[in-house]
Structure 1
Amino acid sequence: MSWNKISCNRRELQLIGTLNGGQSFRWTHDKDKDEWTGIFSKTVWKLRQIEDYLQYKVIGTLPENSTKSNKNSKQDEKFKKTIESYFRLNLNLLESYKEWSGKDELFKSCCQQFYGIRMLKQEPVENLFSFICSQNNHISRISSMVEKLCTQYGEEICSNEGVTYYAFPTVDKLAQPEVESKLRELGFGYRAKFIQKSAAQIVELGGAKWFQTLQDMKYKDARSELMKLHGIGPKVADCICLMSLDHLEALPVDTHVYQIAAQNYLPHLRGKKNVTEKMYVEIGDHFRKLYGDMAGWAHTVLFCADLKKFKQNENDAPDVSQPKKRKKK
């Protein structure tokens, strides 16, 4: 398939910061061609930026994504809308950056280099199980686990240049009782149980449609519902709320985010060994008060800037473990 293009100012979208910053784990970068290959919406994509255009090419897609019409224009329009939705291109990010810069000097300095960081609109099922894999893990290993899930339980989309690509598996596939033991064999450890058990719970709650009810809820209610699943703590619940349920005020707090907050905003939290539940709430509420209803998105820019992901080996990426619960006296 040929390249298609969408008008998009480079200041509105920075692919490396958006695709390589720990939001999604299914993108690879060809540095020689400066092209990205990734999978979402059961479709394999190639992306690149040339001048003020985001260019995309569809390498393969499952039959259910193909239009019945023979007119390529309808198919092209469908893919274009999918890309626009995934990157939330309807939102004027320059305006948001201007607003956040006016509220915070640290953001104002960070956004000069880390412009165009977009909050991806991901599919909840993939988002949830990817972040179960993220617990006490680093980005390269998370990516490996996600690919194992897809290869083992996902539907084959296509093969291209010697690589076979798979869609993310359905909740029903992951809910099967034998999944836990198989994933343990594949090196998932305790996460194997979390994946199978939470998948089974979601099936009982109505499957993928259940996520729509969470999207319609208020943020804190949706977060509470997610935390009823096996292996879903505050941080993972906030990741799902932020990245796939349109609750852009959700703010996942890991040890790295704690360090940003303690060093720059909440000095009384410096020197703490663990992020307690009380600290977790305080940090999130501070940034929600500072940035408003898109606090999670704004803070993602600070996270990318502080992480310096692009200058370090990805194995140095921060641990994304859960905040520790305080012992009851």
Structure 2
Amino acid sequence: MSWNKIICSHKELQLFGTLNGGQSFRWNYDKINDEWVGVFSRTVWKLKQNDDHIQYQVIGSLIKEFDTKDSISYEKLLKDYFRLDLNLVKYYKEWSEKDELFQTACQQFYGIRMLRQEPVENLFSFICSQNNHISRISSMVEKLCTHYGDEICTTDGVTYFSFPQVEKLAVCDVESKLRQLSFGYRAKFIQKSAAQIVEWGGERWFNNLQDMKYKDAKQELMKLHGIGPKVADCICLMSLNHLDALPVDTHVYQIAAQNYLPHLRGKKNVTDKMYTEIGDHFRKLYGDMAGWAHTVLFCADLKKFQQNDDIKCESQKKRRKK
């Protein structure tokens, strides 16, 4: 199968930081072939990073109106997913001028893109993310796809499925099935939220959220079972085009307290008031794309956290050997 090409500098799109930073949970990196394999828009993709372009293959697709050889339509889909219409280098320059910490972080974490995800997948993936780590979230998302999605294709011995339609997750017996699959309390949140979305109009409801102001959309999302402020902000930012939404978790709190809001240091919990203060601070600093800008800082902090974790594991191994 031949590769197609999209002209795009690595400074405009860094696949590793973008696909491995906790936005989407359906991408896997193949070290041997130096390529990414993932699923979005009911399509299985392979991507390769180059200095001045991205290579892609469409492995299989359920999009009936597209022919798998129709590279123009798939290229448009991929460009839209990565928001390649936006000049990221220009925004990085603006954010760097406003913030020394960003200026430092962006040296390594250049080209971090905010994916334009499908709201249904994004919403239920982040319900799975609660009190969880990336590898387990990815496992749960794949279970949802395997049991409730549609088969797309099989390649290299792996069968890929689309993310399920919300109607399939709204059926009453979904909760008990997901509990059997080790989803725990999240099983109830998934089934109940799906039922609410179907009742409120499904895709039309999501379209209305995109048309609302950010804070109104966030409040609507929080009416769903199991959706709190952080998950609502993730959904607003990653799939509803509210790029000023800023999810505040432990990492984001630590970044804010250590570098911007010292009076928040040493707090045991992030209160509603603190959550709002942190978000408003970054919105004032970065403007109407604060959520995107802060994602770069989040990636840098997450990398530092992972490196510290690796160092800790190595030291524990050495102690056990002694």
Pair in the same fold by TM > 0.5: yes
Is the Cα contact below 8 Å between 1:121 and 1:244 reproduced in 2?
A: yes
Is the Cα contact below 8 Å between 2:9 and 2:53 reproduced in 1?
A: yes
Report the equivalent of 1:302: 297
Report the equivalent of 2:12: 12
Report the equivalent of 1:53: 53
Alpha-carbon distance change, 172 to 163 in structure 1, aligned in 2, over 3 angstroms: same
Select the residue among 226, 232, 238 that pairs with 1:231.
226
Is there any run of 5+ residues in structure 2 with no aligned partner, and where?
312-322
Report the equivalent of 1:173: 168
Distance in structure 2 (CA, Å) of the matches to 1:87 and 1:63: 19
Alpha-carbon distance change, 65 to 279 in structure 1, aligned in 2, over 3 angstroms: farther
Is the Cα contact below 8 Å between 1:38 and 1:45 reproduced in 2?
A: yes
Is the Cα contact below 8 Å between 1:140 and 1:314 reproduced in 2?
A: no
Alignment of 1:264 with 2:280, yes or no, is no
Report the equivalent of 1:218: 213
Distance in structure 2 (CA, Å) of the matches to 1:261 and 1:146: 30
TM-score, normalised to structure 1's length? 0.92
TM-score, normalised to structure 2's length? 0.94
Q: Please give the secondary structure, in 2, of the residue aligned with 1:281.
A: helix
Query: Larger relative contact order (C-alpha < 8 A, sep ≥ 6)?
Result: 1
Cα displacement (A) at 1:106? 0.4
Matches within 5 A, 1:1-329: 1-67=1-67, 72=69, 75-308=70-303, 312=307
Is the Cα contact below 8 Å between 2:42 and 2:63 reproduced in 1?
A: no
Distance in structure 1 (CA, Å) of the matches to 2:34 and 2:305: 14
Distance in structure 1 (CA, Å) of the matches to 2:226 and 2:96: 36
Distance in structure 2 (CA, Å) of the matches to 1:208 and 1:162: 33
Is the Cα contact below 8 Å between 1:172 and 1:203 reproduced in 2?
A: yes
- RMSD value over aligned CA atoms? 1.6
CA offsets, 1:176-217, max 9 Å, x none?
A: 000000000000000000000000000001112211100000
Q: Please give the secondary structure, in 1, of the residue aligned with 2:107.
A: coil
Number of residue equivalences: 311
Distance in structure 1 (CA, Å) of the matches to 2:159 and 2:138: 16
Is the Cα contact below 8 Å between 2:43 and 2:63 reproduced in 1?
A: no
The structure in which a higher percent of residues are helix is 2
Is the Cα contact below 8 Å between 1:139 and 1:315 reproduced in 2?
A: no
Is the Cα contact below 8 Å between 2:13 and 2:112 reproduced in 1?
A: yes
Amino acid of the structure 1 residue aligned with 2:242: H
Report the equivalent of 1:325: none
Cα displacement (A) at 1:63? 4.7
Q: Please give the secondary structure, in 2, of the residue aligned with 1:158.
A: strand
Moved over 3 A (4+): 309-316
Distance in structure 2 (CA, Å) of the matches to 1:109 and 1:314: 22
Q: Please give the secondary structure, in 1, of the residue aligned with 2:108.
A: coil
Cα displacement (A) at 1:251? 0.2
Percent of pairs identical after alignment? 76
Distance in structure 1 (CA, Å) of the matches to 2:73 and 2:307: 37
Cα displacement (A) at 1:54? 0.6
Is the Cα contact below 8 Å between 1:149 and 1:168 reproduced in 2?
A: yes
Alpha-carbon distance change, 315 to 157 in structure 1, aligned in 2, over 3 angstroms: farther
